[in-house]
Structure 1
Amino acid sequence: MGLLGDRCKTLHVGRHQKHQKWSRHVSPAVTVSSGDVVTFDAIDGSNGQIDKQSDKSVFNSFDFELADPVFGPVFIRDAEPGDVLRIDVLSLEMTDWGWSAIMPGFGLLADEFPDPDLKIWNLRPETGYAVFKDGVHIPLRPFLGIMGVAPAMDGEFSTIPPTDAGGNVDCRDLTVGTSVYLPVFVPGALFSCGDGHAAQGHGEVCGTAIETPLKATLRFNVCKNQPWVTAPHYQTAPETTQIYQIADRGRYTTMGIDSDLLEAAKKAVRYMIQWLVATKGLGRNDAYMLASVAADLQIAELVDVPNFAVTMSLPLNVFV
């Protein structure tokens, strides 16, 4: 392993070492050196308000102020403002359950889905997929929805919206094998993470993925002289063979066109829901949640003003 590997060590951040706001004044949970590895035991994004026995009545008393806790922070020696923190995602261990929900007032089509709904998933990580319902399998692709560092500004900031410091980016590409690069704004960087997901489509359109507790193993390295990193960057590893293998059957894609980019995205999702209801026998709530955990939003065209085109595509091999 060599001298550097021999010096590196592994530390642990437990579920009790969490905070609800980004702040440069949160005391570190652990202190590490560049090259060290940290394991995190992260509860789900509901912060324990939802469990295996929950039903949609949980939203009668759900407290959004408690949602999306982050675990840490980790102080990395020699990380100074202007540096870049590289985070290598080494492993992500799932548990046996998760949840997806439609929450009143939350999600891309919140006005069209005012009533709450909750799906509890039975996860069997050894199979490589989760069963949405008979004949619909969702490949498991765990990742942390939140990875971020403390902001430069004084004050306390919500963990829900992302910023240039990272945070709740909800990007499904930040999975095992990916290296994430975050600009450092405060001494020690003060990195925290959380919001485990078992699977998600790009866009997370109903507001939730398959939310689940995760045990994450991350390695930290301080990078000097990388001034081009002023917001989150990442590099993915080559695709490897998944546990759950099924032939590619192409994708069904809907397109939203509008002079407002957000409205174009809403149209693409709306059309996907209509297609799923009409051709796959799903109810509207199920179609909305399926789009959130398995379908991908993408900007197809931005230059032919005044209208923009956004697509939503769903891999057809989820229908087994």
Structure 2
Amino acid sequence: MSIHSVKQAQSHLAWDNRIQPVIHVNSGETVTFDCLDASNGQITASSTPAAVSTLVLAKCDQVNGPVYVRNALPGDTLQVDILDITTADWGWTACIPGFGLLADEFQEPALKLWRLNTSEGFTWFDEQRGMKTPLRPFAGEMGVAPAKEGAHSTIPPYATGGNIDTRHVTAGSTLYLPVEVEGALFSIGDGHAAQGDGGTAIETPMTVKVRLTVRKDKSYTKTPHFSTPAAPTSDAYYWFPCRRRRVDIKDAARASVRHMIEVLVADYKLDRVEAYMLCSVAGDLRMHEVVDMPNYVIGFMLPKSVVPIVD
């Protein structure tokens, strides 16, 4: 099986189906991506808080790719198996004016640099106080090109992926994305060393290896969903405002449950009533990401002990 690579410089700052692919791969092949941090190199291991004040947001949240996957057609599903993630030995977290759930209360730029103990899997928040954070690296940005023409910002999440910022999609997990254009045009980036549900992350450069497989048997995939070795499986619904009507968290939560019902009906042959009951008694609704307001990420998760994964 061929192994391909995408370099740091092979990146872009918009989801746009007109961007030419940097490589072409066959379904089932492996690609390694070498990614800068979300600041696109504007923040380094020696930066001061002044770097946040001069941060050019238009250069942030770049993604590496796109990768053209042969035989991927609109209506298919792209299966993304995350095989391995390696971070740098440092990372950063910042208060960026205008971003975050409490952006109105924290308006001054701030920066924290972290030294990542990757061999032992943690980083000190405050060693003197004994406060440390476990490392669980993942890529915040994973997506495919949308069918809608034009350049679409990489900052929010979309139905085709993007800035999903979902901490459960780490090494050993599988992400499923709806294909909207020929070749899928997959890209990835935004390395995170750690993040809580709903929160911001320890941003870091990373190298990530994935396997890209075209699935013709999952036509129900309309939004990203994933399975993870950390127990739950999920169908996450990613929403964003549109001009015709206001989409709110209730809409997102309803849609997330509805998508999980569709998965249970298609993969486990339950009827809709049975699937709805199972979701009610065994599932969890979660806010995976609330940083890119008002573009929240709402997910619905079921434990593997309840529903074993169907390939």
Shorter-chain TM-score range: 0.7 to 0.9
Give the aligned partner of residue 234 of structure 1: 226
Q: Which structure has the larger Rg over C-alpha atoms?
A: 1
Hey, what does 2:166 align to over in structure 1? Answer: 171
Q: Which residue identity lines up with residue 202 of structure 2 in the other structure?
A: I
Q: CA separation in 2, counterparts of 1:95 and 1:101?
A: 17
Please report the RMSD computed on the Cα atoms of aligned residues, expressed in angstroms.
Answer: 1.5
The separation in 2 between residues aligned to 1:67 and 1:101, in whole angstroms, is 13
Residue 86 of structure 2 is aligned to residue 93 of structure 1 = yes
The reply on whether 1:40 has 2:40 as its aligned counterpart is: no
1:187 to 182, 187, 197: 182
Given that 2:90 and 2:115 are in contact with CA atoms closer than 8 Å, whether structure 1 keeps it comes out as yes
Partner residue in 2 for 1:17: 10
Query: Aligned pairs, how many?
Result: 235
After TM superposition, which residue ranges in structure 1, 4 or more long, deviate above 4 angstroms?
none
Q: Is the 8 A contact 2:52 2:94 kept in 1?
A: no
1:247 alignment partner in structure 2: none
Counterparts of 2:49 and 2:64, CA distance in 1: 27
What's the CA shift for 1:118? 0.3
| Deviations, residues 50-104 of structure 1 (Å, cap 9, x unaligned) | 0011111112211110010000000000000000000000000111100001111
Unmatched runs of 5 consecutive residues or more in structure 1: 1-7, 240-259, 263-296, 300-320
Q: Deviations over 1:184-237 (max 9, x none)?
A: 000000000000000000001xxx310000100000100003121100010112
Q: Percent sequence identity over matched residues?
A: 48
Contact 2:72–2:184 (Cα < 8 Å) also in 1: yes
Aligned residue number for residue 236 of structure 2: none
SS in 1 for 2:104: helix
For structure 2, the residue ranges without an aligned partner over 5 or more in a row are: 232-247, 251-284, 288-311
- Picking from 45, 49, 54, the partner of 1:56 is 49
Taking structure 1 as the reference length, the TM-score comes to 0.71
Deviation at 1:160, TM superposition (A): 0.5
- In the alignment, the residues of structure 2 paired with residue 35 and residue 226 of structure 1 have an alpha-carbon distance, to the nearest angstrom, of 16
| Aligned partner of 2:61 among 68, 93, 96 | 68
What secondary structure does 1:54 align onto?
coil
Partner residue, 2:140: 145
1:220 paired residue number:
212
Does residue 154 of structure 1 match 2:149? yes
1:143 and 1:60 map into 2 onto residues whose CA distance is 26
1:13-67: CA deviation from partner (whole Å, max 9, x where unpaired) = 0001000010001110110001100000010000000001111111221111001
CA distance in 2, matches of 1:130, 1:225: 42
Letter in 1 for 2:112: K
Deviations 1:286-318 (A, max 9, x none): xxxxxxxxxxx947xxxxxxxxxxxxxxxxxxx
Query: In the alignment, is the contact (CA less than 8 A) between 2:52 and 2:111 conserved in 1?
Result: no
Cα distance in 1 for partners of 2:52, 2:202 equals 17
